[in-house]
């Protein structure tokens, strides 16, 4: 089509017009330029694992049906998939390891800008891990916790991961042991998977996939460590009011976007900006406005109420407003294109981590030890850049929406406890059992331009809430809802079915201490915080006295893009959840692997992938999976 719909986000669409008028290249143009994408890659049947290749599965039979070494389609597809899971696990755990190093340095007195914001979380975590808290200083307790986390990353003995083990149901724990997918360490599992998938090692598709499942559990453990320690250092999220979409960029202020994933950096930028408001006024600005992009934006939104400017596919648009003075980057999901755009705009792009640099961008190494000074330098760069703004280039979309975020599982439990203080989770499970709501869906994942940006997130969400499903969201899925005004209390009346509406109103009535209404969707955080969803489903399983595969809970990543999303989807299946993915991973080249993912996984783990690109159909399939589970529970 000549003018295909590229996005349903009005902020992004407005900037796309500007891009067209000024002939600025965006991700949407590059997506078109890549068409048609390679059919072999699409199906997962291209192998580049050794340099005898690249090999492709070209025919159904004969020598052309295999790689040079004889690897067949199922081996090649499985290896490629498992390497994606390893990549995702490496990414999440890199982020979490950074949070861990910071916590450890803080305990040792080497990171004075950080502190224990939530002793409550620390104590809860300690008791989960069997660390004594009696008559001990919080720092001593945290020291023990960080050491357990370190050994989870790098243990060599054959013992299960302490963090993972601390929250699984007994049945899941046994299932993982019986199927031999209990990881021994996070880093060790990533290494093992790279070794297992190397040329001339594993060619058994089932063994390979089970390796991938083990990797996904290592991924979950890494996320879990990241979420828990971030809560200890920066606080447990609580309901908080904020706004989202590009209109939060303020033409009268110094605007700094923090983009990437790691709250260790962005929390400090927020603190430094609070200190340096006066400096911004000296250059004629009204103050400093921090806005978030992608998951570090979600982290700051959850804990500090920082505005969420935009999400993955529209990250370039923030620079195109002409009013963004600096974009401070840490790691992951950052388009190299953001630096290329600064040829046309005054924005300073600054990288901060040793493993993440960009040609042409400034690099300021950010260290836990000198965090506040480093953050101040970053803010100063933005203040300087403000002077170079070109007023003719400023065009900020008039698009911003109210929202309520900040729903940690602690907060949700607290809200439920006002209805039933003895058994808070029963408030949720009873509502499912009596049919008031149909179940819970965790919506996660990215933007993937194979569909119009955000459209699948929105279509699925609307269908689910209309049918009385309680939705929790993370990452760029949460970003889509935030940007479009769907995360506001007003959206409840507009979109929720009668059952869901009455459930949310009942919670509001029982919680008069809340200073805001409850939103249509509960934002539970960044991508690593998908681990919060696993805490929630465990608590529901415990309350219902069943294992996870019986809980009316499903996951959906309507626009999955990153390797991290592949790792998350895989652990959702392994944990026993129906898991919808709306962008096809590279596995159609093997019926066997496709069958394992969509069917055999269900027989073994009780969870399975639902690959469905049409969001309307996908919503029906998710609803079907929930209904089946609640029906089974009730008989």
Question: Residue 30 or residue 48: which is nearer to ligand SF4 going by CB?
Answer: 48
Indicate whether 50 belongs to the interface with ligand SF4 (CB under 6 A).
yes
50 binds, among ligand SF4, ligand BF8, none (CB under 5 to 8 A by kind): ligand SF4
Nearest to 145 by CA among 77, 67, 229: 229
Site for ligand BF8 in 398-457 (CB under 6 A): 445-446
- Cα→Cα distances 557→122, 157, 527, 561, 623, Å: 31, 35, 11, 9, 15
443 binds, among ligand SF4, ligand BF8, none (CB under 5 to 8 A by kind): none
Q: What is the closest distance, in whole angstroms, from the C-beta atom of residue 475 to ligand BF8 in the complex?
A: 3
The single residue among 116, 385, 561, 566 that binds ligand BF8, judged by CB under 6 A, is: 561
53 binds, among ligand SF4, ligand BF8, none (CB under 5 to 8 A by kind): ligand SF4
Contacts of 611 (CB under 8 A, 6+ apart): 580, 581, 584, 585, 597, 598
The single residue among 38, 52, 365, 494 that binds ligand SF4, judged by CB under 6 A, is: 52
Site for ligand BF8 in 357-386 (CB under 6 A): none
55 binds, among ligand BF8, ligand SF4, none (CB under 5 to 8 A by kind): ligand SF4
Other C-beta atoms closer than 10 Å to the C-beta of 491 total: 23
Instruction: Report helix, strand or coil for 463.
Output: helix
Q: What is the closest distance, in whole angstroms, from the C-beta atom of residue 590 to ligand SF4 in the complex?
A: 14
- Compute, in degrees rounded to 10, the torsion defined by CA atoms 271, 274, 279, 285: 120
- What residue ranges in 213-316 does DSSP mark as E strands? 240-244, 254-259, 288-293, 307-310
Question: Residue 222 or residue 606: which is nearer to ligand BF8 going by CB?
Answer: 222
348 binds, among ligand BF8, ligand SF4, none (CB under 5 to 8 A by kind): none
333 binds, among ligand BF8, ligand SF4, none (CB under 5 to 8 A by kind): ligand BF8
Tell me the C-alpha distance between 626 and 53, whole Å: 44
Q: Exposed, middle or buried: residue 130 (CB in 10 Å: 0-12, 13-18, 19+)? A: exposed
Indicate whether 485 belongs to the interface with ligand BF8 (CB under 6 A).
no
Tell me the C-alpha distance between 64 and 256, whole Å: 53
Asked whether the beta carbons of 228 and 121 are under 8 A apart, the reply is yes
The single residue among 527, 538, 566, 596 that binds ligand BF8, judged by CB under 6 A, is: 527
Question: Residue 449 or residue 623: which is nearer to ligand BF8 going by CB?
Answer: 449
Site for ligand SF4 in 65-104 (CB under 6 A): 67-69, 71
Tell me the C-alpha distance between 505 and 124, whole Å: 30
Asked whether the beta carbons of 34 and 22 are under 8 A apart, the reply is no
Indicate whether 482 belongs to the interface with ligand BF8 (CB under 6 A).
no
Largest CA distance in the chain: 74
Asked whether the beta carbons of 252 and 285 are under 8 A apart, the reply is yes
446 binds, among ligand BF8, ligand SF4, none (CB under 5 to 8 A by kind): ligand BF8
The interface region with ligand BF8, picked from 8-16, 492-500, 559-567, 592-600 by CB under 6 A, is 559-567
Indicate whether 10 belongs to the interface with ligand BF8 (CB under 6 A).
no
Asked whether the beta carbons of 608 and 579 are under 8 A apart, the reply is yes
Question: Residue 48 or residue 387: which is nearer to ligand SF4 going by CB?
Answer: 48
The interface region with ligand BF8, picked from 150-158, 421-429, 459-467, 562-570 by CB under 6 A, is 562-570
527 binds, among ligand SF4, ligand BF8, none (CB under 5 to 8 A by kind): ligand BF8
Only one residue has tokens 């962008």, namely 583
Site string for ligand SF4, 29-48 (x = CB under 6 A): ------------------xx
Q: What is the closest distance, in whole angstroms, from the C-beta atom of residue 476 to ligand BF8 in the complex?
A: 3
Indicate whether 212 belongs to the interface with ligand BF8 (CB under 6 A).
no
Q: What is the closest distance, in whole angstroms, from the C-beta atom of residue 45 to ligand SF4 in the complex?
A: 10
Q: Which residues pair with 353 in a beta bridge?
A: 356
Helix (H) or strand (E) holding 273: helix 263-275
Nearest to 78 by CA among 598, 612, 602, 590: 590
Total residues contacting ligand SF4 (rule CB under 6 A)? 13
Phi and psi for 218 in degrees, rounded to 5?
-65, -35
Residues that bind ligand BF8 (CB under 6 A): 261, 294-295, 312, 333, 445-446, 475-476, 526-527, 561-562, 564-565
Residues that bind ligand SF4 (CB under 6 A): 47-50, 52-55, 67-69, 71, 199
């Amino acid at each position: 089509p000549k003018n295909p719909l590229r996005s349903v986000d009005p902020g992004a669409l407005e900037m796309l017009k500007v891009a067209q008028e000024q002939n600025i290249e965006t991700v949407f143009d590059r997506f078109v330029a890549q068409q048609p994408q390679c059919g072999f890659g699409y199906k997962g049947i291209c192998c580049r694992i050794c340099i005898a290749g690249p090999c492709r599965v070209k025919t159904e039979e004969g020598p052309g049906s295999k790689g040079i070494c004889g690897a067949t389609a199922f081996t090649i597809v499985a290896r490629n998939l498992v390497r994606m899971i390893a990549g995702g696990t490496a990414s999440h755990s890199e982020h979490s390891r950074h949070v861990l190093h910071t916590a450890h340095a803080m305990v040792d007195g080497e990171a004075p800008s950080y502190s224990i914001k939530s002793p409550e979380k620390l104590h809860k975590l300690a008791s989960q891990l069997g660390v004594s808290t009696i008559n001990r200083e919080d720092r001593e307790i945290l020291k023990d916790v960080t050491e357990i986390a370190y050994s989870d990353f790098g243990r060599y003995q054959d013992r299960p991961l302490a963090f993972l083990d601390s929250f699984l149901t007994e049945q899941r724990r046994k299932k993982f042991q019986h199927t031999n997918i209990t990881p021994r360490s996070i880093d060790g599992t990533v290494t093992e998977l790279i070794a297992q998938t190397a040329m001339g090692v594993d060619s058994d598709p089932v063994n390979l996939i089970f390796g991938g499942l083990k990797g996904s559990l290592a991924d979950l453990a890494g996320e879990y460590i990241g979420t828990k320690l971030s809560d200890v250092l920066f606080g447990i999220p609580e309901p908080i009011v904020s706004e989202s979409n590009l209109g939060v960029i303020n033409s009268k202020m110094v605007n700094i976007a923090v983009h990437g994933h790691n709250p260790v950096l962005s929390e400090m930028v927020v603190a430094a900006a609070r200190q340096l408001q006066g400096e911004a006024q000296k250059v004629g600005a009204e103050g400093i406005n921090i806005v978030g992009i992608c998951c570090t934006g979600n982290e700051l939104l959850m804990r500090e109420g920082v505005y969420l400017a935009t999400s993955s596919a529209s990250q370039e648009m923030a620079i195109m407003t002409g009013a963004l003075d600096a974009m401070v980057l840490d790691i992951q999901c950052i388009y190299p294109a953001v630096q290329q755009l600064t040829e046309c705009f005054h924005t300073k792009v600054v990288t901060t981590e040793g493993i993440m640099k960009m040609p042409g961008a400034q690099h300021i190494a950010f260290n836990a030890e000198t965090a506040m000074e480093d953050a101040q330098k970053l803010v100063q760069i933005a203040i300087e850049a403000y002077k170079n703004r070109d007023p003719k280039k400023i065009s900020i979309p008039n698009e911003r929406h109210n929202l309520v975020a900040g729903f940690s599982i602690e907060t949700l439990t607290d809200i439920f406890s006002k209805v039933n203080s003895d058994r808070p989770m029963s408030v949720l499970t009873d509502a499912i059992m009596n049919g008031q709501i149909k179940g819970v869906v965790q919506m996660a994942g990215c933007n993937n331009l194979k569909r119009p940006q955000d459209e699948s997130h929105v279509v699925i969400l609307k269908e689910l809430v209309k049918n009385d499903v309680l939705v929790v969201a993370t990452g760029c899925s949460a970003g889509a809802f935030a940007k479009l005004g769907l995360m506001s209390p007003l959206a409840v009346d507009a979109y929720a079915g009668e059952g869901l509406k009455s459930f949310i109103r009942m919670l509001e009535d029982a919680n008069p201490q809340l200073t805001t209404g409850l939103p249509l969707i509960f934002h539970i955080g960044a991508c690593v915080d998908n681990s919060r969803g696993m805490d929630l489903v465990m608590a529901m399983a415990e309350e219902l006295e069943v294992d996870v595969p019986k809980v009316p809970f499903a996951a959906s990543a309507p626009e999955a893009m990153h390797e991290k999303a592949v790792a998350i989807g895989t652990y959702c299946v392994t944990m026993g959840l129906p898991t919808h993915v709306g962008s096809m991973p590279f596995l159609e080249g093997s019926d066997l692997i496709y069958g394992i993912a969509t069917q055999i996984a269900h027989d073994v783990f009780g969870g399975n992938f639902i690959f469905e690109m049409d969001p309307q159909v996908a919503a029906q399939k998710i609803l079907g999976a929930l209904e089946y589970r609640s029906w089974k529970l009730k008989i």
